[in-house]
Amino acid sequence: MNGDIIAINFPFIVVALLLALGFYTIGFKRNLIKVVIGVEILEGAVNLFLIALGYVKGGYAPIYTLAPKKAVGNMVLPTPQALTLTSIVIGVAVSALMLAFAVNIYRHYGTLDVTKIRRLRG
């Protein structure tokens, strides 16, 4: 039974591992660019999770243009795809702004090491 659920829920387990990887990168890496990459990994994990939620076994893409006959009444859920689209764009926006700040920090301190730029402590 337990082995079964691992096989069936494999995409969700991948999502969990990716989330853990993202948190590890954010928490334990010292380079600011790597922290940004960690946030991106989290972003990817959550997007993968949303898409995986919408999957229906044997389903077709929810588009009627020139679809195969079998597709009618057998489509994957469209809402998670719409949500993922939104969340991807938001991810792009966040990473662009984070990188802009990283550029500014590098210009100012000459380093991207988070332990060296923390002057705001206290």
Partner 1 sequence: MTTTIIKTTTRILAPLILVFGAYIILHGHLTPGGGFQGGAVFASGLALLIVACETDVVKKRFEKVPLSPLESIGALGFLGMALLGLMGYTFFRNVIANSGFIFGGRTPIGINPGFLNTGGTLAYMNIFVGMKVLAGLTSIVLIFFLLLGGKKDEW
Partner 2 sequence: MMEHLPALMIAVPLFGAFTTPLLKKRYSLASMWAIIITAATLGLSLLLVQEVLSKGIIVYVFGAKNPSLVLPSGYRVPVRIIFEIDAIGAFMALSATLMSFIGALYSYSHVRMESGLEKYYALLLLLEVGILGMVLTGDLFNLFVFLEIAGIAGSALVGFRNYRGEASEAGIKYLIVSAVASLMVLFSIGLLYGQYGNLNIAYLSTQIHFDTVDMIALGLLFVSFAMKCGSVPMHYWVPDAYTEVPAGINPTLLVATYASLYALFRVSFSLFGAITWNMARVGWIMSILGVLTMFIGVTMALVQKDVKRLMSYHAISQTGYMLLGVGVGLTVLNDPAKLSAFGRTAMAGGIFHIINHIIYKSLLLMTAGALFYVTGTRNLNEMGGLARRMPYTTIAFIVGAAAISGIPPFNGFASKFLIYETSYQLNPLLAVIAMVTSVLTLASFVKVFASAFLGPPLEKYNEVREVPKPMVAAMIILAVLCILFGLFPNVVLKNLIYPAVDALLKLAQYQSWGGLA
Partner 3 sequence: MRKALGLFAFLGFTLFLLGAAMSLRPFGAPPHAEMDHYFITHAQEQASANNVVTSIVFDYRGFDTLGEATVLFTAVAGVLMALRRREVSS
Question: For binding to partner 2 (CB under 8 A), which residues are involved?
Answer: 19, 26, 32, 35, 39, 42-43, 46, 49-50, 53, 77, 79-80, 83, 86-87, 90, 93-94, 97-98, 101-102, 104-105, 108-109, 117-120, 122
Report if residue 33 touches partner 3, rule: CB under 8 A: no
Site for partner 3 in 40-69 (CB under 8 A): 52-57, 62-65
For every residue of 4-57, DSSP letters joined together read HHHHHTHHHHHHHHHHHHHHHHHHH--BHHHHHHHHHHHHHHHHHHHHHHT--T
User: CA 32 to CA 84: how far, in whole Å?
Assistant: 26
Question: What is the binding site for partner 1 (CB under 8 A)?
Answer: 61, 63-67, 69, 71-72, 85, 89, 92, 96, 99-100, 103, 107
